[in-house]
A and B are shown apart, each in its own frame.
Chain A
Amino acid sequence: MKPFRYDRATSPAAAVAAVAADPQASYLAGGTNLVDHLRLGLTEPGLLVDVGGLPLHEIEELPDGGLRIGAGVANSDLAADRRVRERYPVLSVALLSGASGQLRNLATTGGNLLQRTRCGYFQDVTEPCNKRAPGSGCAALGGWNRYHAILGASSHCIAVHPSDLAVALTALDARVRVLGVDGERAIPIDDFYRLPGDEPQRDTVLEHGDLITAVDLPPLPVARNSGYRKVRDRASYAFALVSVAAAIRIEDGTVADVRIALGGVAHRPWRAHTAEQALHGAPSTVEGYAAAAARELSAADPLPGNAFKVPLARSVLTSVLTQLAEEAR
């Protein structure tokens, strides 16, 4: 690990000023992803600006009935919050499906969103990786790609975003509040993450110096009937092969509202707009859910190592929607 300077931020604005002024600076929050990557030599910042002490640890009611989650709220506190469990159960279950109890106590809301989109080759400095070393190539394309993207990938990168939290937030139409040198702005989470294209080194639309201060959840009655299912190679503490976050409202046997996001399938959480559009106003039937899932996955372009994810994602999506629809009646 290369030596670095350490600075404890005294305010969000001071943190932004410190990082924006130094191209070699990085934010430090819980550290569960960054410290690992420092040790692996994947990133070598000259300055760490610690935002862990900033007053961003509250979950507040918004006037419109939504919730504002401070960027520093620990994943464990967010998952256990009574309001989140009642009004947005998909969010609590998604958080609890990720990492381990110890990591969830350290990891923060903002840090979880900004963990790197990555794969095993990104984490191995002896392998080519366009995300870690732009232009070096992609070892995963012809390598072991069981965990990799089936949607929205490019010839430059096929890594997937590993966060479960971000998948739930995508289904919930959350807005990410960001403080930059030019002030604060709110970014809809569906615009927050990037597909790799020819710039896989950029996971999000954030500029250097931008700091996540909070995540806003809109008031969303449909979210009371929501769920998250994660399929993985072992029962716990593993990344998703495929995950589904969904919320649904049924009226008179038809789909009145539905929100769907997929995890483990793309460089970003994958909002299933195609499936949602197919389902709005349609009869609530297993066949309808299966057809909508098939339409969403018709755009899939898998590799030999992850072709199984296409029928897996179809099946899990169909199953989650069917179960939520039964619970909605």
Chain B
Amino acid sequence: METQIGLRVDGTRHTVRIDTRETLLDVLRERLGNTSPKKGCDHGQCGACTVLLDGRRVTTCLALAVSHDGAELTTAAGLASGAQLHPVQQAFVTHDAFQCGYCTPGQVCSAVGMLDEASRGWPSACTEPGELVRLSDAEIAERMSGNLCRCGAYVNIVAAIRQAAVDADAPDTP
């Protein structure tokens, strides 16, 4: 069934005709030409399709576009300010946190969403009940478990996110 929805993607408004069966991932890639989110498993298991949906990280392969009419999406392609990379993107470059790069846009969006969740005090499965959130390597790994990297760049991904978290806590430190 065909229908029409509105989306705001990386700051630009779009009105797009879709089939009710299309996911946000399909609409982004096939209708709007934004190939930043990647189709990996298409079952919500790999996280390569992660974007920020109204500010929250989600797997777009499991979100029917028709049910998100009017939503605001931020993909990895929309995180930078002009030539200035987002701090999480820059940290991935600095720490060599990828090899083939296929999972990277999803990793970056997931990390941005995850750091926001942590800053709001959301616990994870490895946060002791009653304790404040401190982003140890174990916390980062747990919170990023929805993003797979088949190149196995996990060690540097954790290092990049740790750096981005520290920088976000002390934004004025040179």
Interface residues of A (CB under 8 A from B): 1, 3-6, 8, 28, 31-32, 35-36, 38-39, 48, 50, 52, 76, 79-80, 85, 89, 92-93, 96-97, 99-103, 105-106, 227, 235-237
- Interface segment among B61-69, B85-93, B94-102, B163-171: the answer is B61-69
Q: In the complex, what residues of B have CB within 8 A of residue A3's CB?
A: 1, 19-21
Query: In the bound complex, how far is the Cα of B19 from the Cα of A38, in angstroms?
Result: 14
**Cβ of B104 < 8 Å from any Cβ of A?**
no
Q: Which of A31, A76, A97 contacts B125 (CB 8 A)?
A: A97
Q: In the complex, what residues of B have CB within 8 A of residue A97's CB?
A: 125
Q: Which of B62, B124, B129, B142 contacts A85 (CB 8 A)?
A: B129
Q: Which of A6, A85, A99 contacts B123 (CB 8 A)?
A: A85
Query: In the bound complex, how far is the Cα of B100 from the Cα of A303, in angstroms?
Result: 42
**Cβ of B28 < 8 Å from any Cβ of A?**
no
B125 touching A102, Cβ below 8 Å: no
A28-B64 contact, Cβ under 8 Å, with A76-B117, A92-B123, A102-B44:
yes
B1 touching A5, Cβ below 8 Å: yes
A50-B67 contact, Cβ under 8 Å, with A6-B20, A101-B110:
yes
Q: Output the least CB separation between B109 and chain A (Å).
A: 9
- Chain A residue at minimal CB-CB distance from B109: A102
Q: What are 6 A-B interface contacts by the 8 Å CB criterion?
A: A31-B62, A93-B129, A100-B59, A102-B50, A103-B62, A106-B63
B56 touching A1, Cβ below 8 Å: no
B129 touching A92, Cβ below 8 Å: yes
A52 touching B145, Cβ below 8 Å: no
B146 touching A106, Cβ below 8 Å: no
Q: In the complex, what residues of A have CB within 8 A of residue B129's CB?
A: 85, 89, 92-93, 227
A35 touching B123, Cβ below 8 Å: no
B44 touching A103, Cβ below 8 Å: yes
Q: Output the least CB separation between B150 and chain A (Å).
A: 15
Q: In the complex, what residues of A have CB within 8 A of residue B141's CB?
A: 235-236
**Cβ of B158 < 8 Å from any Cβ of A?**
no
B58 touching A4, Cβ below 8 Å: no
Q: Output the least CB separation between A103 and chain B (Å).
A: 6
A101 touching B64, Cβ below 8 Å: no
A101 touching B114, Cβ below 8 Å: yes
**Cβ of B38 < 8 Å from any Cβ of A?**
no
Q: In the complex, what residues of B have CB within 8 A of residue A101's CB?
A: 57, 110, 113-114, 117, 143-146
Q: In the complex, what residues of A have CB within 8 A of residue B64's CB?
A: 6, 28, 31, 35, 48
**Cβ of B75 < 8 Å from any Cβ of A?**
no
**Cβ of B42 < 8 Å from any Cβ of A?**
yes
Q: Output the least CB separation between A232 and chain B (Å).
A: 11
Q: In the complex, what residues of A have CB within 8 A of residue B12's CB?
A: none
**Cβ of B134 < 8 Å from any Cβ of A?**
no
10 residue pairs, one from A and one from B, having the closest CB atoms? A100-B146, A236-B145, A237-B145, A96-B125, A80-B122, A6-B20, A105-B56, A89-B129, A102-B59, A102-B146
Q: Output the least CB separation between B39 and chain A (Å).
A: 12
Q: Which of A32, A76, A89 contacts B44 (CB 8 A)?
A: A32
A236 touching B142, Cβ below 8 Å: yes
Q: In the complex, what residues of A have CB within 8 A of residue B45's CB?
A: 237
A79-B122 contact, Cβ under 8 Å, with A3-B21, A101-B113:
yes
